[in-house]
Structure 1
């Protein structure tokens, strides 16, 4: 077998190059082998030829020496990778090729352009042809990287192989290093009595957790006690992870590196070792736990009279599942029914106030798989957000908002104290205008004159569209017009939630930014007002890791969809178009919520189709037949490909043009409104 080796050639002949400066950014590598480095502040990506990659792989953070080359039309920025600053991926899955004195791992991922050299003494019992997971231990510029076998995977482990590959591709290590596990194991299980004495004691106050039925880490609890004058004391108690993580230690460094837990259909890859996430920090019932709390004096109308932030100790009285809490809300009966109903009333008042002040009310439902013991999907469940979910959501939002508001009051040397805010920018004007133009074809008018009016008219549209054929389409497109939320020290507020100040305080077991927030707030409470070194860089890293986790979750969900739909090849289902591209349309089956592709090539027997970006549609040149987001189709499952994570559909019936009729009705409605305004 021939092997892919690293080539380290000189600069391209016949071209003058002038070194300008050194920059750093994230590298993407195309199928051609060309690299492109995105650097903040630069309009164009820096081009890296394959011979100048110097072992960099897709997703790595790299330092590049930049040159400018003159071309006929413009200047192209080219560079040479001088150093890989942060590796996105260090573990690779592939097939072993073992020779008498050495071995190679041939990676499954085609985007990894080089094989990994394995010394014979690092095979750890693996044999020729084995499927193995390998960790790179040494990166060499002019030679192949060197690695060691972590584990061998058998064919029975097909699901295990797929899930581990997805995690590795997105840069998440599968195991905790020994020094991290050792530090976690050394933490005492018994709470220190002196530390308890320093904290506000809530162990005698009614406290409960409400979580998914399969949750193992409970990082938030709610306490309630009745005060005078129609007010209540509501405590939002969060696992005090920062009490156990020593800054700069192996445990803390590993948590920062991961930055987030990753939730796949059949597993959780935790940010923290199990001893911490499921034991020490988890707010399990009938156990004393250290917490960091936001405590509110609030009435049933959601009016906050006062609040405080404090280090506390709690003891949860009852662990509710969402289903149990929902039944109490619906029937008014069950354990602590009076308290649950009071919290529900407060949450509903907070929610109403939020929307009144500009939050956008996108509905959400979550698709989950029912799995057998081998992790194979045997069913699909759609979980909707009900009152019990919203109860917890609103109280967490309240805590996050007030903690961020507390932090923004502090300054350092005349400037706002750097703090890891969770921000959400206003929609990009061009995207919003395009969406508003499309929505107007259905008779919905968005007011784009100010951020407040945008939010209000968005909510009016979402309310009006409820139950209509175009609901799914306009909701999906509306979400896509929104900016992405990120972590940063530059506070511009959270547009989608309608908050001026917002941070993540409530999930430190699974999000590292929450740990940073806890540490800074703890210092502020003690009177220590000092910037954290490298905070913005940590925020950026956490945002990147969040995107990587979301990509891993999407890919794993897609894999499970393909695996589930294998049994339905040849069957016909009703679907709804969820996306439109120049090469075809994505269709989601209504029954299973599984997405596949209806290729434009397979539609060529009907007509030649052109892609209309402004209308999110494929339009037939001769027949006028349209395929657009939200449209219902009858499709047949023709192929499933687990390796490519792809489902292929074909059209089972000619489409009914309901969407076209809705557009016509929308235009009629607009004309009527214009006539009324003239009168």
Structure 2
């Protein structure tokens, strides 16, 4: 039988339409309990007759039925194995799906695990449990009524079994009790379980114990209705809140109607916003706008200190739009990694997140002594306006503080990197071994196994995406150049489990000594990797060129190749430089290198930028996996050679797929930065007498080329590093979503660009391969490939995952660099990168390291004079300018294990009363500055010298 549901819906043009849907009622739906004599056996039910729920509130074993709010708020508790034999009503299941997709996914993971004994009962289609909506009844009240009805049905259906409804909705609880349903809150249930202390820590609490008479520290938030109305009227503005990493009392909100971000300062300005929240902002009158603070502020103060710190927030630079948060439209809270703050005792503890953008969190825990030794995960539950910090709860411990495995886990979690093992469904998509190339494969591909192809990659690379060849044709008057890319799309078919997993991960993430693959290792390091001496499937882009690197023709096809050698950049460079080598690979590399130089020169003439960054390589001990040394990566001509042909292949492919798919080609653009972004670069160069032109990429490139100094050979590199930081991020987009003028790639100075050359580690390249395969007739299309909206959604995920992967890589390098410097005391050569009001930002090229030299200690008077206009700091006759060379002493301060930082002292130039003597002199003069290792060495040297004198 069926009934009907009707509802009124407003369409896009404002008309109201009545929708009627059939709702089928069935009499064959099982209750899911294995020994039920009345219901047919249900194979999907994991409910167990052997598991016993032990809660002293209720006599004997029982099954649990959950209200929607319990699933939404208490998933951390529900994921604990002690909570089992749980019936999830379909009413609850659907409401969770509509209200929180992340919680819905976590709930599904539990439901699919047989050991957890969870079961979904389809109550809203059951003939005895279905309840139609009453006129004027709120949806929430109807759902609560359905939950109580289904619970009552279970009680009557199996009188010899016990069923308990758990709800935190007081009204629902009282109604359930009045109907004779055993009911309690989740807190009551957990507190009456055996060994409940750990589980109690995981309870999400909205009702922290606070003093009702306590003073409000923050303004009240406006209601949702007030916010939406004011935003619609234009009196308030909506945007995403971004907290400052350098100043905990400052934040920004990007709003479309303002060119510059809106500045928020102080407690009332931030008003309990947490990084990532969607907030409503009130903009002040222009007379009340201020400039950002120029000082660094860490949250190490009490409530009483805040007012004093807020007085010093106003900067002296150019003012920008300023406002305050008046309400939260949507919280973007997630799980945060960190540690407990030392010094606090009792039930309530302060949690310090690893991410400096997140405020400290007040949690309740009964295992503080153990947790102080651990990195842990905490989530935020609420932030009352009379509390200095948000309130949250403990989720789980990750491992011992300082452990490399634990720190890697923290990096991955903090940057939202999917890193779980590949599921059985994904692994089932992999080809069976031994994998061989069949005659059918050979018929569909161009056989290039006879061509001398080789790959050139970093040392230790196992996921080899690309290989190259170059050979003379037409009696030496032309060159055939080929870029051969691993054909990953052959193994990853659209819509399969492995495809969905790869699209979710989006990119391979590289940490120090560890790699989080986008695809399983069988593909990434074996069947797809273009290893030397092995036959592999490839997607080839082949050009005919004249000897001046002009392209005469281009063709694309799927191929079979056999790389002759897998070389490192250094090996390839040695081969090119050794003129005694005349084999085909050596000649191929020399020709490729000469063509690459022409291509690069041509690119730079068109305005492509040569930027710089501090890329370092950390040498690890193969046994202990501890860092042995940190060094800047060496670059060879062969690095540039490979880069030029990868760029050329990407450009050629972009032109092809846009021609054939003008609305859904996946492209990559690099937006032109706003002129304001270049202010730090322009000012820094101007103070040194250089004029940096920013009106076009070509002028920027030319003016950077001219900014050189014989006295400071590192000056040009630092200017390019500053220029890199002025750039916007390059992003993926579907061609049909933007105008053609917006396709431009600013950094490369090309009108069209995509990613084709790294499909093993980038999902965007797999999509591009599929588009190109359709263009070439090598494969067929499918609906999602041509869906502009789905492509746009995919690009959004790709851009996010790529950004997070980049940040995760940097965080891993930073942790291992700290590990390398632990216990060391070094004097290092560096350069001033930025001059701040109270500090100098120092770059140490040897380690690619940036650190801060503070010019005044807390509570002391500074001997330095800051000139904001000229961006200098003066102490007597010594004046510090941006890019000046300095010698500094470097020591890692590990007293704050959460945020270890470098303590920096000035060695040269010498400023009396501020500088410290060189390390050798200091060691001879005193043991005070020495680390324990250095003290021991000094004592040993002293003993040796005494023996020699005797």
Cα distance 1:508–1:58, how it changes in 2: closer, same or farther (>3 A)? farther
Q: Secondary structure at the match of 2:703?
A: helix
Structure 2: distance between partners of 1:67 and 1:255: 38
* Number of residue pairs the alignment of both structures matches: 626
How far did 1:649 drift?
A: 0.6
1:59-74 to 2 correspondences below 5 Å: 59=276
TM-score of the superposed pair, with normalisation by structure 1: 0.78
- Which residue matches 1:221? 467
Q: What's 1:572 paired with?
A: 827
1:45-124 matched pairs, under 5 angstroms:
58-59=275-276, 78-81=326-329, 92=337, 109=354, 111=358
Q: How far 1:228 sits from its partner (Å)?
A: 0.6
| TM-superposed deviation, 1:78 | 4.7
1:494-643 aligned within 5 A = 494-526=745-777, 530-569=786-825, 571-602=826-857, 607-610=863-866, 612=868, 615=870, 617-620=871-874, 623=876, 625-641=878-894, 643=898
Alpha-carbon shift at residue 590 of structure 1 (Å)? 4.9
Is 1:421 the equivalent of 2:667?
yes
* Rounded Cα–Cα distance in structure 2 between residues aligned with 1:91 and 1:251: 29
Q: Quickly say closer, same or farther: Cα 1:70–1:19, change in 2 above 3 A.
A: farther
CA contact 2:612–2:717 (8 Å) conserved in 1: no
3-state secondary structure, aligned to 1:549: helix
Instruction: Say if 2:540 is the partner of 1:341.
Output: no
Residue matched to 1:493: 744
How far is 1:446 from its partner?
A: 4.0
Measured in 1, the distance between the counterparts of 2:434 and 2:364 equals 43
CA distance 1:375–1:494, change in 2 (3 Å): same
Question: Structure 2 residue aligned with 1:355, among 570, 593, 604?
Answer: 604
Q: Distance in 2 between matches of 1:531 and 1:260?
A: 22
1:7 equivalent in structure 2: 206
- Match in the other structure for 2:405: 160
Which moves more between the two structures, 215-224 or 107-116? 107-116
CA–CA separation in structure 2 for the residues paired with 1:32 and 1:177: 39
> d(CA) in 1 for partners of 2:363 and 2:705?
53
Give a deviation string over 1:115-152, Cα, whole Å, max 9, x none. 8999x9xxxxxx9877477799x999999999986x86
Q: SS at the partner of 1:368?
A: strand
- Superposed CA deviations along residues 152-189 of structure 1, whole A, max 9, x for unmatched, are 6356x712212221121111133234245424545665
Aligned: 1:326 with 2:576 = no
With over 3 angstroms needed to count, the CA separation of the structure-2 counterparts of 1:241 and 1:33, relative to structure 1, is farther
Q: Which protein, 1 or 2, shows the higher relative CO under an 8 Å CA cutoff with sep ≥ 6?
A: 1
Q: Following the alignment from structure 1 to structure 2, what is the Cα–Cα distance between the partners of residues 442 and 278?
A: 49
Q: Give me the whole-angstrom Cα distance separating, in 2, the residues matched to 1:165 and 1:207.
A: 41
After TM superposition, give the deviation of residue 564 of structure 1 in Å: 1.8
CA separation of 1:288 and 1:429: change in aligned 2, threshold 3 A: same
Note if 1:284 corresponds to 2:531. Answer: yes
Q: What's 2:723 paired with?
A: 478
SS at match of 2:851: strand
Q: Deviations over 1:431-488 (max 9, x none)?
A: 44663454344343445554433333333436x7796363344233233333332223
Match of 1:409, SS state, is: helix
Q: Which residue of 1 aligns with 2:120?
A: none
Higher alpha-carbon deviation: 170-179 or 359-368: 359-368
Distance (whole Å) between structure 2 residues aligned to residue 562 and residue 419 of structure 1: 43
| Alignment CA distance shift 1:350-1:466 (3 Å) | farther
C-alpha distance after superposition, 1:23-59 (max 9, x if no partner): 9976646797999775767776799x99xx9x99755
Identify the residue that residue 673 of structure 1 maps to in structure 2. none
Q: CA deviation at 1:407?
A: 2.4
> How big is the shift at 1:364?
6.1
Q: Distance in 2 between matches of 1:12 and 1:18?
A: 13
Cα deviation 1:192-238 (Å, max 9, x = unaligned): 63334212221221111111111110011113333115212211111
| Deviation for aligned residue 1:327 | 0.4
> Are the equivalent residues in 2 in contact too, given 1:423–1:487 (CA < 8 A)?
yes
Matches within 5 A, 1:33-52: none
CA–CA distance in structure 1, aligned partners of residues 394 and 775 of structure 2: 45
Pair 1:430–1:14, CA change in 2 (3 A): closer
* Greater displacement, 388-397 / 258-267: 258-267
Could you tell me how far apart the structure 1 residues matched to 2:793 and 2:593 are? 39
Pick the aligned partner of 2:415 from 159, 164, 170.
170
Q: Quick one: distance in 1 between partners of 2:849 and 2:481?
A: 41
User: Counterpart in 2 of 1:255?
Assistant: 502
Deviations 1:485-528 (A, max 9, x none): 22233443222222111111111111222222222222333486
Deviation at 1:253, TM superposition (A): 2.7
Would you say the 8 A contact 1:426–1:495 is kept in 2? yes
Deviation at 1:400, TM superposition (A): 0.7
**1:452-467 maps to which residues of 2 (within 5 A)?**
452-461=698-707
Question: Is 2:630 the partner of 1:380?
Answer: yes
Q: Which residue of 1 aligns with 2:560?
A: 313
Name 1:675's counterpart in structure 2: none
Q: Distance in 1 between matches of 2:711 and 2:791?
A: 42
Structure 1 spans left out of the alignment, 5+ residues = 96-103, 121-126, 657-679
- Cα distance 1:25–1:163, how it changes in 2: closer, same or farther (>3 A)? farther
Deviation track 1:373-407 (CA, whole Å, cap 9, x = no partner) reads 32322212322321111111111011011111222
CA distance in 1, matches of 2:430, 2:652: 34
Alpha-carbon distance change, 311 to 469 in structure 1, aligned in 2, over 3 angstroms = closer
Q: Is the 8 Å Cα contact of residues 5 and 144 (structure 1) preserved in structure 2?
A: no
Deviation for aligned residue 1:307: 0.5
Name the SS for the 2:908 alignment partner: coil
Decide whether aligned partners of structure 1 residues 494 and 564 sit closer, same or farther in structure 2, where only a CA change above 3 A counts: same
Q: Distance in 2 between matches of 1:420 and 1:465?
A: 45
- Kindly indicate whether the alpha-carbon contact (under 8 Å) linking 1:360 and 1:458 is maintained by their aligned counterparts in 2: no
Answer yes or no: is the 8 Å Cα contact 1:637–1:648 preserved in 2: yes
CA distance in 2, matches of 1:507, 1:152: 33
- Contact 2:707/2:716, CA 8 A, preserved across alignment: no
The CA deviation string for residues 93-118 of structure 1, in whole angstroms up to 9 with x for no partner, is 768xxxxxxxx997864738668999
Corresponding residue number in structure 2 for 1:294:
541
**Contact persistence 2:889–2:907 (CA under 8 A):** yes
Q: In terms of Rg, which structure is larger?
A: 2
Q: Secondary structure at the match of 2:822?
A: helix
CA distance in 2, matches of 1:91, 1:606: 37
- Distance of aligned partners of 1:77 and 1:492 in 2 relative to their CA distance in 1, 3 Å threshold: farther
1:522–1:647 distance in 2 versus 1, CA, 3 Å: same
Query: What secondary structure, in the 3-state scheme, does the structure 1 residue paired with 2:403 have?
Result: helix
RMSD over equivalenced CA pairs, Å: 4.6
- Kindly tell me: are residues 129 and 595 of structure 1, through their superposed partners in 2, closer, same or farther at Cα, counting changes over 3 Å? closer
Structure 2 unaligned residues grouped into runs of 5+: 1-196, 209-218, 289-321, 341-348, 385-389, 912-950
- Structure 2 distance, partners of 1:259, 1:75, is 37
Contact 1:176 1:273 in 2 (8 A): no
- For residues 136-285 of structure 1, what are the structure 2 equivalents within 5 Å? 153-154=399-400, 158-179=403-424, 181-185=426-430, 190-191=435-436, 193=438, 194-228=440-474, 230-285=477-532
> In structure 2, do the counterparts of structure 1 residues 549 and 267 end up closer, same or farther at CA, with 3 Å as the change threshold?
same
